[in-house]
Amino acid sequence: MGKKDERWDIYDANRKKTGRTMQRNDWHMAPGDYHISVLGIVTNDEGKFLITKRAMDKEWAPGALEVSGGAVIAGEESDEAIKREVGEETGLDLTGATFTLIDSYRNDSAAEKNNYFVDIYHVRAHFTKADINVQEEEVAGFRLVTYEELLSLVKTTEFLHWARLRDDFAAIAAGRI
pLDDT (average), residues 36-49: 97
Strands 139-145 and 116-124: unpaired
SS3 call for 158: coil
Considering only CA atoms, give the Rg of the chain. 16
pLDDT (average), residues 5-13: 94
Torsion of CA 112, 22, 118, 162, to 10 degrees: -50
pLDDT (average), residues 103-131: 94
Q: Does residue 98 carry a pLDDT above 70?
A: yes
Classify residue 64 by burial, with Cβ atoms within 10 Å: 0-12, 13-18, 19+.
middle
| pLDDT of amino acid 60 | 87
| pLDDT of amino acid 1 | 47
Amino acid letter for position 57? D
CA 35 to chain CA centroid, nearest Å = 14
- Split at pLDDT 50, 70, 90, the class of 2 is low
